[in-house]
């Protein structure tokens, strides 16, 4: 167990950040799944910018790797363009 006041605060903060990261990552994954299941080109084109924005935010906050974000955006854009 932590002995210092700052260490106890760090433990509390790490847990809060972990839960926030999990929530944001799961929300983005659900949005990606929703976009992948979309068969209407118009709806997919409307949904793509918000999903790309979510992916960029995850990469900026180091929740996912930059290359993974680039791969996801590339695949989703290609998928929407082929509809």
Confidence of residue 2 (pLDDT cuts 50, 70, 90): confident
Domains of the chain with bracketed CATH? 5-82 (1.20.58.110)
Q: How far apart are CA 83 and CA 77, in angstroms?
A: 10
| Residue 64 DSSP code | S
pTM comes to 0.88
* pLDDT (0 to 100) of residue 53: 97
With bands split at pLDDT 50, 70 and 90, how would you rate the model's confidence at 43? very high
Structure confidence at residue 79 (pLDDT): 96
pLDDT at 3 over 90: no
pLDDT average, residue stretch 69-82: 97
Distances (CA, A) of 59 to 3, 24, 65, 67: 34, 11, 6, 9
What percentage of the chain carries pLDDT values higher than 90?
Answer: 95
């Amino acid at each position: 167990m932590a002995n210092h006041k700052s260490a106890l605060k760090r433990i509390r903060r790490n847990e809060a950040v972990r839960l926030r990261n999990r929530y944001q990552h799961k929300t983005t994954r659900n949005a990606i799944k929703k976009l992948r299941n979309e068969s209407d080109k118009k709806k997919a084109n409307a949904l793509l910018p918000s999903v790309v924005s979510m992916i960029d935010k995850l990469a900026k906050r180091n929740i996912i790797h930059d290359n993974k974000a680039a791969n996801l955006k590339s695949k989703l854009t290609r998928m929407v363009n082929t509809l």
